[in-house]
Amino acid sequence: MEKSGLAEFNVKIVESCLVPPCLPLPRYTLYLSSLHNQPLVRINSNALLVYEGCENVLADPAKTIREALSKVLVYYYPLAGRLRKKEDGKLQLECTGEGVLFVEAMVDNSLSVLGDLDKLEPSFKKLLFRFPSDAAIEDVHPIVIQVNHFICGGFVVAVSFQHMVCDGRGIGQFLKGLGEMARGHIKPSTEPVWDRELLRPRNISVHNLELTKEKIESTSNSWIPPIYKESTQMSLNLDLETIKYVKDGIMLECLDNCTTFEIVAALVWQASTKVLEIPHTQNVSISFAVDARTSFNPPLPNGYYGNGVVAADAQAIAHDVINKPLSYLVNIIKKTKMSLTNEYLRSIIDTDGFSSDQANISLSDWRWLGFNEVDFGSGSPVNICPIYWNENGPNISNGFDFIHSPKRKCDAFKVIAWMPPQEFNLVEIEIKAITNKYVINASKC
């Protein structure tokens, strides 16, 4: 898929309907845990999955996916229901069997109009059905799927899901199951497990309260990010060779291994802190989503598709974030990840101790959610892109996602950002300056 400067196209809705499970199912209400009620997941998450036209392309992808959807919902029946608010304001899920909203659309252009989805253009929002921003939560479907046919034979599957029902890994599991049913499987290879009850709170103890108090107090003297009038979804690419140079350099500095994610988080943290001109005496944090499924004791079962994500906040004084070596930040990030023990996670659930404050900087890792494995019968997607958009523009400030680059750029990763264009350009310059130091040092060895 080649880049193009053109980003204008028209989308015509062919059909919009509810797709219920193909078998009748009982109607009852399901419990949602504190992890499903925390402020950070009370959002819609959206993704575009791009499938290129080829000899094996589906003759009618919308028909194939719609029929498979009715079959897979027999196993993922809660997703055909609706969210409901209890008297205390918390959410639960009513299994109504109403179905998933399915939209079929035609696009008057070829996939080349999308380029590599490096920048979110206004036309792109036509590919995704969106409920009004003031819609009641009871009226918003847990999942919406829109299949967009392009004139080249390719298609884009746009998925919108309520994060209060399942996290990215959960929806990735669902989509892989949907793809399997589209390819003729009798049932999904991974059996879905609801089991939100495993995350019920225990009896609150003094120890629990102290852990939560410590978490809240640790955010004091933190820099409060401004509210931007304009934010744009843009992206930068990091090639694997450069990441390897940085990783090798950091390992020499701290004599310890580190992951690619920890390097990217440290780069984003340091570069953004410089660009945002945060006062040097204030705390600055980077919040990153951690899949805590295996951190619980016992671990959440295989096939669990609910929210297993917890926000981890790595914090330091702005002066140190800017001036210390990258290995210093990597070490803080590693320690923050290690602090998410079973006891800490349980104590947070016990006390609903989730902060509703906006993070200074946030980063999510989309590489392992499973979207790149979703195959409806014509192969895996050639590109995947998260898309966050409300009526007034992107709903995230200083937010970053770490994803795989398009298939044709298999030697790189992509970092997507939501921030004003001028700040983003400066962040990109800073990241290149930081990584270039490691590249230069490696060439001297």
Active site residues: 163, 375
CA angle 425, 282, 210 (to 5 degrees): 120
Name the β-bridge partners of 83: 93
Could you identify the residue written with the tokens 């194939």? Answer: 64
Of 232, 272, 197, nearest to 121 (Cα)? 232
SS3 content of the chain, % helix, strand, coil (to 5): 35, 25, 40
Residue 435 sits at φ, ψ, to 5 deg, of -70, -35
What count of residues does the chain have? 445
Of 138, 145, 177, nearest to 161 (Cα)? 145
Whether residue 435 contacts residue 246, with contact meaning beta carbons closer than 8 Å, is answered with yes
- Residue 305, CA distances (Å) to 11, 24, 45, 250 in order: 32, 22, 15, 35
* Sign of the alpha-carbon torsion through 402, 340, 274, 324: negative
Strand 361-365 with 283-291, pairing: parallel
